[in-house]
Amino acid sequence: MAHSLSAKKRIRQNLKARARNRARKADLRTQVKQFVTALSAGDVAKAETELRKTTRALDRVAAKGTFHKNTASRKRSRLTRQLNAAKAAAKTGSGTSAAKA
């Protein structure tokens, strides 16, 4: 257990920051899940709007320091690639088998 006042304060600050970070990550996971659900349902238009919301949320989380900016960028890139693959599959009309071949 911490004895000095500064160490006790640091523990209080860490608890608050942990709660904030966990809430931000939970909100982000929910947003990503909405994007993935729209994508798996085949609704490309809804998936595009959800991707925009998810990108905004990722940037906000990175700006606040919960995620590193490169982590947010990597996640954004992967989600965008999923959307582009779904668009390409919808364009060819044959589904995901043509995208994998």
Domain 5-100: CATH architecture, name and number where available? Up-down Bundle (1.20)
What would the pLDDT profile of 26-83 be if each residue is shown by its tens digit? 999 999 999 999 999 999 999 999 999 999 999 999 999 999 999 999 999 999 999 9
**So where are the chain's domains?**
5-100
Is the predicted pLDDT of residue 100 greater than 70, yes or no? Answer: no
The DSSP letter of residue 65 is T
Is the predicted pLDDT of residue 95 greater than 60, yes or no? Answer: no
pLDDT of residue 1: 86
Report yes or no: 52 and 35 within 8 Å, Cβ to Cβ.
Answer: no
pLDDT of residue 96: 56
- Residue 59: exposure state from Cβ atoms within 10 A (0-12, 13-18, ≥19): middle
**Rounded CA separation 86/36 (Å):** 11
Residue 10 token pair: 């640091």
- Residue 51: exposure state from Cβ atoms within 10 A (0-12, 13-18, ≥19): buried
